[in-house]
Amino acid sequence: MTVAIPEFEYLQDVLHKHSAIVLSEDKHYLVEARLAPIARDLGFDTVEEVVREMKRGTDRALQERVVEAMTTNETSWFRDIHPFNALRDTIFPEIIERNKSNRTLSVWSAASSTGQELYSIALLLDSHFPEVEYWNLELLGTDLNNTVLERARAGSFSGLEINRGLPATMIARYFARDGANFVIHEKLRSKVTFRKLNLAAPWVGLPVFDIIFLRNVLIYFDPQTKKQILESAARQLRPGGYLAMGGAESPLGITDCFETVAIGGATFYRTESN
């Protein structure tokens, strides 16, 4: 089942205005998958009816809920393991050596969703780099979506979420049960911060970072916004800092701010001047 063209175009328009996200014509399936639970919850027979209700413009909460559902990404722990292996084996040792005099280390998960990416980085640091325990760590996750930010801050995950890519040794060591959920220990939660940020709007109040994870999010933006985001990311990196993108993504052809560095099975990007 697909959403009729006027309703689909209306959704495209709302998403673009709200978050500069481009919903391409081939994403009908995504609309169905993301909005079907809302239709069920609210007693609509079809997703199309949800969008029609939205178009009436009287229910602002519904509009927010739909935008949030469309912009939430499924995520897993240590997703595409290679970048995390590169952090463990090469990048963290290099940055820790470089920053040992000022004892700071900063990492930004720029589309943090429910937090697994940033918590994976925190888990990696805690389990492999005890020397940074008392450093000034800045582990920041940002997202546009309030619901996922709240979930990320709570650090509470379902069994299905815990099953996705998290090594059993880490579950045993860093999690406690809370009812049916698994809550990450306060020691880890206290090291991370999650806040709202629209990547397509000017970035205000961000520190500079040693590492930026900007993975699987640019696909949603138009070419001009992609370029703007990547060049902002380049300016937000410390000299010698690293940018990670999704396995199928690259800044090449969008901006010439970065050079490519292959580390193990992973690809990272550094600013040319480094």
Question: By the criterion CB under 8 A, which residues form the site for another protein?
Answer: 76, 81-82, 85, 159-160, 162-165, 167-169, 171-173, 175-177, 182, 265
149: CB partners within 8 A, 6+ apart: 112, 141, 143, 194, 195, 196
Taking the complex as a whole, the smallest distance from the CB of residue 137 to another protein amounts, in Å, to: 24
CA distance 40 to 81: 35
Q: Which is nearer to another protein, 1 or 160 (CB)?
A: 160
Q: Which is nearer to another protein, 77 or 269 (CB)?
A: 77
Taking the complex as a whole, the smallest distance from the CB of residue 238 to another protein amounts, in Å, to: 28
Q: Which is nearer to another protein, 213 or 258 (CB)?
A: 213
Instruction: Return the H-helix or E-strand segment holding 269.
Output: strand 266-271
Taking the complex as a whole, the smallest distance from the CB of residue 82 to another protein amounts, in Å, to: 6
At CA 177, angle to CA 171 and CA 180, rounded to 5?
A: 110
Q: Which two tokens stand for residue 254?
A: 């969008």
Taking the complex as a whole, the smallest distance from the CB of residue 165 to another protein amounts, in Å, to: 5
234: CB partners within 8 A, 6+ apart: 243, 255, 257, 258, 271
Taking the complex as a whole, the smallest distance from the CB of residue 172 to another protein amounts, in Å, to: 4
Q: Are 43 and 3 in contact (CB under 8 A)?
A: no
Q: Which is nearer to another protein, 179 or 202 (CB)?
A: 179
The residue with tokens 């949030």 is 68
Taking the complex as a whole, the smallest distance from the CB of residue 246 to another protein amounts, in Å, to: 13
Pairs from 86-93 (Cβ < 8 Å, separation ≥ 24): 86/263, 86/264, 86/265, 86/266, 86/268, 87/121, 87/124, 87/211, 88/124, 88/128, 89/263, 89/264, 90/263, 90/264, 91/211, 91/242, 91/263, 91/268, 92/124, 92/125, 92/128, 92/129
Between strands 192-196 and 136-143, the pairing is parallel
At CA 39, angle to CA 33 and CA 44, rounded to 5?
A: 140
Q: Which is nearer to another protein, 88 or 98 (CB)?
A: 88
Q: Which is nearer to another protein, 102 or 169 (CB)?
A: 169
Q: Which is nearer to another protein, 165 or 240 (CB)?
A: 165
